[in-house]
Structure 1
Amino acid sequence: MQRCVTLLVIVLTAGMSAALQIQCYQCEDVRQDDCTSPEFIVNCTVNVQDMCQKEVLVMEDGIHYRKSCASSGACLIASSGYQQFCTGKLNSVCITCCNTALCNGPRHKRRAASHACAAPSISHYITSLLGLMLLYLCLH
């Protein structure tokens, strides 16, 4: 039984740490969507910053971008709070959140980013399933 509990803790801990650290682009007030080179890639804080955030501001002198790591709660609140200001016109502010590596980079034809509905990654499901299977085997 002790061996089962130890194995269960190892599987769950390894799965959580691998699933909860992502990399995002990080830059402040860039006038082009060009902060996608390797020097702008940062490792987000494990178990705290689980999303990437991208802000697009339309100003008189052009479009400005801010990209960073964020916690899911803060990012989703900010994106929903600014949704009414995301018009694409002058003084527009759009904030998007996503939860995959480097998802706050340039837009692709098929959208990898989600706005207010970030789904858990597949690794969360696999880790949970492995943990449940181990727990079942330990108890039977």
Structure 2
Amino acid sequence: MRLFPVFTLLLLLLHSSGLALQIQCYQCEEMTHDCSTPEFVVNCTVNVQDMCQKEVLVKDDGIHYRKSCASSGACLIASSGYQQFCTGKLNSVCIACCNTPLCNGPRQKKRPQSAAAAAVTLPVFSLSVFVLLSSALR
């Protein structure tokens, strides 16, 4: 019974830290333009669809895009299965998976994360979990 409040607090910490739960991706079917605009943003299914998927198909009439939410297992299997067809030539199919919000949109310049922010986030989270668990086990 004492662990229920600790478990609840742990879930709240996970939720507030963004370590799990929900991701946003672009979603469209067979678009002839890159559908990376706000009207194509969707919330993926919590704790199920943990990745964004992007398919680029080269057809007779041009490049087509498919974007969606995906589970990591399904996306990684699909992307590895289509690697041999990712040539950039006619009838090419390229599938990519990523796990950050809206990562299936256009390529963005990489911004280096502040070393101070990266160094503080994990220890603070770990310390919070340690304090909660040790107080529950008393």
Report the TM range for the smaller structure's normalisation: 0.7 to 0.9
Aligned 8 A contact 2:25 2:42 in 1: yes
Where 2:101 maps in the other structure, the secondary structure is coil
Identity of aligned residues (%): 69
- CA drift of 1:38 comes to 1.7
Residue in 2 that maps onto 1:30: 31
Where 2:90 maps in the other structure, the secondary structure is coil
Residue in 2 that maps onto 1:121: none
Residue in 2 that maps onto 1:102: 102
1:48-95 CA-partner distances (Å, limit 9, x unpaired) = 101100000111111100000000100011011111111111111110
Which runs of 5 or more structure 1 residues have no equivalent in the other structure? 112-124
Cα 1:128–1:48, aligned 2, differ >3 Å: closer, same or farther?
farther
Aligned 8 A contact 2:58 2:89 in 1: yes
Matched, 1:10 2:8: yes
Q: Which moved more, 1:11-20 or 1:24-33?
A: 11-20
Residue in 2 that maps onto 1:135: 133
1:3-54 CA-partner distances (Å, limit 9, x unpaired) = xx23421233221584220111000001111x12221111100011011000
Which runs of 5 or more structure 2 residues have no equivalent in the other structure? 112-121
Cα 1:87–1:64, aligned 2, differ >3 Å: closer, same or farther?
same
**Distance between the aligned counterparts of 1:88 and 1:28, measured in 2?**
19
1:80-129 CA-partner distances (Å, limit 9, x unpaired) = 11111111111111101111111111112339xxxxxxxxxxxxx67973
Where 2:9 maps in the other structure, the secondary structure is helix
Residue in 2 that maps onto 1:52: 52
Aligned 8 A contact 2:6 2:136 in 1: no
**Distance between the aligned counterparts of 1:66 and 1:102, measured in 2?**
14
> What amino acid maps onto 1:50 in structure 2?
D
State the superposition RMSD in angstroms.
2.5
